[in-house]
Amino acid sequence: MSARWAARVPLSQAAAAARLRLVPRIRVLAVDPWLWLRGETLDESLDLQLRSTPGVERFVLGDDDLLTPVDRRVPVGRLPEGTWQPLADWLTVELPPSRLAGQCDTRVPLRIVRSPDVREAGLLLTTWDAWHAYGISAPQVRLDAWMFAVADGGRTVVRGSPPPPIPGIAHVDMQGIAVPCGWHWAPPLDTATVRTLLGIDATSVALFDTEGTWERIGADQFVRASRSALRATEEAMRQER
């Protein structure tokens, strides 16, 4: 596992690449609508991080910068040309809370009220044990629809519609403003205004409970749902215990 590699994520999800910022010698190039990443070597750890990055497409980088999707044999294109720069330079670092539970009890001038509207769930707050048990055996086509984030203590958020069929609190996910199903915020502001009020960026999720308490989950805290990502997370959590 040492081949030159490339990957791309939608620019709209570029924050997801932030998890890679400490990996040395990754270079990036933004060519709308993609953020391209490239590297000269690929070890198991980096491979796993790439696999876990939401929205990522991975390529083997051949001669003349030909791009061959992983698990395919035929090149599908060529790496774009431009001024590649180190990922760490390209990313602008903010100071967000680093864990899911980092900003509990931040009160906002919004109330969470009962809602008669029927909306489909797009996010599930569940336990790590339930999600792990389901996810490592789940079909790939279902996993492809989900991302997940885990907090200390095992609280787990699975984002994607429909949510996995496991116990938990289903939330309606309206452009990253997630409220428990059957509830809505009042006054009925649009999501952009709610974001401004909460002071969160466009890629983060604001996870509400029925008390109106919310917490912010940064885009870089979500990983793409895959069996290997689930197993790696389980292994990391086991070591922390």
Partner 1 sequence: MSLAAFLESLWSEGRVRVGPPSQRPEGTLDEEQAIRSVLEEGERVARRDFPGEAPLFSLTAARWAADSFREACAFLIHRDAGQEQLEQTLRRPCPDMTSPSICYSVDLTFRYLPDLVRMARAVSPNDPLGVEALRWCREWPLSSVGVSGVLETGAIDISAFAGHPGLMTVYVDRIIERKDTSRLRDPRVIEALRRTVGADPLLTSAWEKHLSAGTT
Note the residues at the interface with partner 1 (CB under 8 A): 1-3, 42, 44, 48, 60, 62, 68, 71-73, 136-142, 145, 162, 165, 226-228, 231-232
Query: Measured from the CB of residue 153, what is the shortest distance to partner 1 in angstroms?
Result: 25
C-beta of 136 vs 237, nearer to partner 1: 136
Query: Measured from the CB of residue 161, what is the shortest distance to partner 1 in angstroms?
Result: 9
Question: Could you tell me whether strands 223-224 and 147-150 are parallel, antiparallel, or unpaired per DSSP bridges?
Answer: antiparallel
Query: Measured from the CB of residue 220, what is the shortest distance to partner 1 in angstroms?
Result: 22
Amino acid residing at 233: T
C-beta of 135 vs 218, nearer to partner 1: 135
Query: Measured from the CB of residue 208, what is the shortest distance to partner 1 in angstroms?
Result: 25
C-beta of 62 vs 96, nearer to partner 1: 62
C-beta of 92 vs 137, nearer to partner 1: 137
Q: What is the CA radius of gyration of the chain?
A: 19
3-state secondary structure the chain: CCCCEEEEEEHHHHHHHHHHCCCCCCEEEEECCEEEEEECCCCHHHHHHHHCCCCCEEEEECHHHEEEECCCCCCCEECCCCCCEEHHHHCCCCCCCCCCCCCCCECCCCEEEECCCCCCCCEEEEEHHHHHHHHCCCCHHHHCCCEEEECHHHEEEEECCCCCCCCCEEEEEECCEEEECCEEEECCCCHHHHHHHHCCCCCCEEEECCCCCEEEECHHHCEECCHHHHHHHHHHHHHHC
Query: Measured from the CB of residue 139, what is the shortest distance to partner 1 in angstroms?
Result: 4
C-beta of 44 vs 240, nearer to partner 1: 44
Query: Measured from the CB of residue 168, what is the shortest distance to partner 1 in angstroms?
Result: 16
Query: Measured from the CB of residue 226, what is the shortest distance to partner 1 in angstroms?
Result: 7
Q: What is the spatial distance between Cα 241 and Cα 236, in angstroms, rounded to a whole number?
A: 9
C-beta of 5 vs 185, nearer to partner 1: 5
Cβ(208)–Cβ(214) under 8 Å?
yes
C-beta of 91 vs 232, nearer to partner 1: 232
